[in-house]
Amino acid sequence: MNNIGDTAAALISSQDSSLDHDRARLSRWGGLLAALTTTDDFDTACREDLDIKQMVDTVQRLEASLRDLSLIHI
């Protein structure tokens, strides 16, 4: 499980500045992720908690896959 965590850490650290902008987009996924985006320390949690980093990275990968898939079928 932490194999992806290393990748997530790299992705999140490069995207720290865009996390505020991503909050609304990430909250659309609902559940725990939506709840986390409403907290004041969301940015800190994304930097320091490997499990949260992995969750955000997974959602970002899913969104990228959906975008790629939609572009292929246009």
Q: State the pLDDT at residue 20.
A: 65
* pLDDT tens readout for residues 35-55: 999 999 998 999 999 999 999
> Between residues 35 and 1, which one has the greater pLDDT?
35
Domain assignments of the chain as residue spans, ordered by start? 2-72
Output the pTM of the full model: 0.63
User: pLDDT class for 58, splitting at 50, 70, 90?
Assistant: very high
**DSSP string computed for 10-73:** HHHHHTGGGHHHHHHHHHTT-HHHHHHHTSTTHHHHHHH-HHHHHHHHHHHHHHHHHHHHHHHT
